[in-house]
Amino acid sequence: MKKLLFLTVFVCCLVLSAGEKFPKYIILFIGDGMASPQRMVAEEFAVKSGHGKLAMNHLPFHATTRTASANSLVTDSAAAGTAIACGEKTENHRIGVGPDGKVRLESVAEYARKKGWKVGIVSTMVINHATPASFYGHRPARSQYYDLGLDLIDSGFDYFAGGGFNQKNKGDKETRPDLYELARKKGYKILMPGQKKEFLALKPGCGKVLYAASPGYMPAALDTDADGTTLAEMTVKGLELLKNPKGFFFMVEGGTIDVYGHANDAAGNLREVLALDEAVRAALKFAEKYPDETLIVTTGDHETGGMSMGFAGSGYAMFMERLKFQKMTAKKYDKLIAEARKKDPKFSFEDSKKLLTENFGFKFSGDVKKDPMVLDKKQIKALEDGFKNNKPGNAARMVMSQKAGIGWTSGAHTGLPVLTTAQGAGAENFVGFIDNTDIARKLKALIR
């Protein structure tokens, strides 16, 4: 009887193993600072604005994901990026090394390359920032930007795109060789800001590519003009260039979600989430052609800002659709006011009301019960104080969050878990309650 039971279990295991699908193309999306609140706020806005639900939220497999680092319940992007990339915990600020800062960890990207796959890395942050660097870098401190740039070049990965290099380690006083020139000498085709046309014209077989779409981290999706390169465009081009018979691993980061989470700028933040979702949609179109060979995974490295779906002043109601009236980020509005003051030293708060109406939809007269964008006395006072204290954008984004019914508890990271969703070959591995380290471990196990 025992022999029969053993034989039955053994046969079942063989059947399950034979039935498991292994992907040939893995596309990992990371929203920096993106947890469930950011995803849900962006979806609510998208639905009420007529754009429909977020693609990333409706992939068939879901996992709640713990984000703590080796030394803190609240992680930074370096430790979280390392966990997602390498499958091991490390201390905050460390990149691709263990908690002691010495033991070198192998990322899923490096593992894929060792297996003969092509590798691509894209980010809206500078390309040697914490999260993208976690897939190719090995340094005890995330502030070693120049050294991480050297790691990028030495990785030999096939495709990089996003914000341009930060060329200095923190505290550097010496001038070092230009990273772009070093990359060019290592065989990379370098494309700089202003070369979007040349970038979009690249064809498969062009060799290794490094595209700096902007000098630093990329402009906000809310502020980008028609000439700016989008995350979706960099994703589409990456899929085109990386496609090959052996397979590829491709990491795409919506890094600037985090920037506008730190700023508590709800409209700026959700537009970054929507930009990431457009990139996910591009990957889903790719997956339609290769449904049995493609795995798409979306996750976040941590939550930023303590965003809450609800604000005391709006009761139990939320009004995401009101965020459509915000036409620029709070940071850009600060620059707009600074320019106006420089041009006219007598520029007053009264003068700024027109700009607030044009760029945030605020109205300074009317019936607040009939028009929700009419401001009450407290809100006008907050905007006036912000103007006087040289923080007009900060005041405007706070009032806008109140109007929409969004609360914030922090200007930093929080320990909230994030949501991981997946579709395709091997996606069934991403379910339940998992740790961020499980993502790399599961992906490595799927690479053949």
In tens, the pLDDT along 235-249 reads 999 999 999 999 999
> Within 13 Å and on the Cβ side, how many CA atoms surround 335?
5
| 47 membership: H or E segment, kind and range | helix 36-48
pLDDT band of residue 441 (cuts 50, 70, 90) is: very high
Provide CB contacts within 8 A for 404, sequence distance 6+: 266, 311, 314, 318, 319, 320, 322, 323
Question: For residue 420, is pLDDT > 50?
Answer: yes
Burial 181-207 (b: 16+ CB within 10 A, else e): ebbeeeebebbebeebeebeebeeeee
Residue 1 pLDDT: 45
pTM: 0.93
β-bridge pairing 209-214 and 159-163: parallel
Question: For residue 16, is pLDDT > 60?
Answer: no
Residue 105 pLDDT: 98
Domains observed in the chain: 23-307+411-446 (3.40.720.10), 311-406 (no CATH)
**Tokens matching residue 156:** 């030999």
Q: Which tens digits make up the pLDDT trace of 298-336?
A: 999 999 999 998 766 666 667 889 999 999 999 999 999
Q: Which tens digits make up the pLDDT trace of 382-410?
A: 999 999 999 999 999 999 999 999 999 99
pLDDT band of residue 195 (cuts 50, 70, 90) is: very high
Give the whole-angstrom CA distance, residue 183 versus residue 232.
Answer: 25
Question: For residue 174, is pLDDT > 90?
Answer: no
Give the whole-angstrom CA distance, residue 249 versus residue 278.
Answer: 19
pLDDT band of residue 172 (cuts 50, 70, 90) is: confident
Q: Characterise 445 by phi-psi region: left (phi > 0), alpha (psi -120 to 50), beta (else).
A: alpha
Q: Which tens digits make up the pLDDT trace of 344-385?
A: 999 999 999 999 999 999 999 998 888 999 999 999 999 999
Question: Closest Cα to residue 126, out of 92, 160, 79?
Answer: 160
> Within 13 Å and on the Cβ side, how many CA atoms surround 31?
36
Q: Where are the beta strands (DSSP E) in 127-229?
A: 159-163, 189-191, 209-214
Q: What are phi and psi of 198, to 5 degrees?
A: -65, -35
Number of helices followed by number of strands (H, E) in the chain: 16, 14
Give the whole-angstrom CA distance, residue 436 versus residue 68.
Answer: 8
Give the whole-angstrom CA distance, residue 214 versus residue 194.
Answer: 8
Question: For residue 266, is pLDDT > 60?
Answer: yes
Residue 49 pLDDT: 86
Task: Provide the 8-state DSSP code for 139.
Answer: B
Residue 262 one-letter amino acid: H
Q: Which tens digits make up the pLDDT trace of 93-126?
A: 999 999 999 999 999 999 999 999 999 999 999 9
**Tokens matching residue 242:** 């990386």
Residue 317 pLDDT: 66
Residue 275 pLDDT: 97
Question: For residue 261, is pLDDT > 50?
Answer: yes
Instruction: Report percent pLDDT > 70 for the chain.
Output: 94
Question: Closest Cα to residue 195, out of 225, 227, 235?
Answer: 227
Beta sheet of 61-66, edge-to-edge order:
189-191, 209-214, 159-163, 118-126, 248-254, 25-31, 294-300, 418-424, 61-66, 432-435
Question: Closest Cα to residue 256, out of 235, 237, 230?
Answer: 230
Q: Which tens digits make up the pLDDT trace of 134-161?
A: 999 999 999 999 999 999 999 999 999 9
Residue 369 pLDDT: 82
- Give the DSSP per-residue string, 111-129: HHHHTT-EEEEEEEEETTS
**Tokens matching residue 52:** 């429909």
Question: For residue 4, is pLDDT > 50?
Answer: no
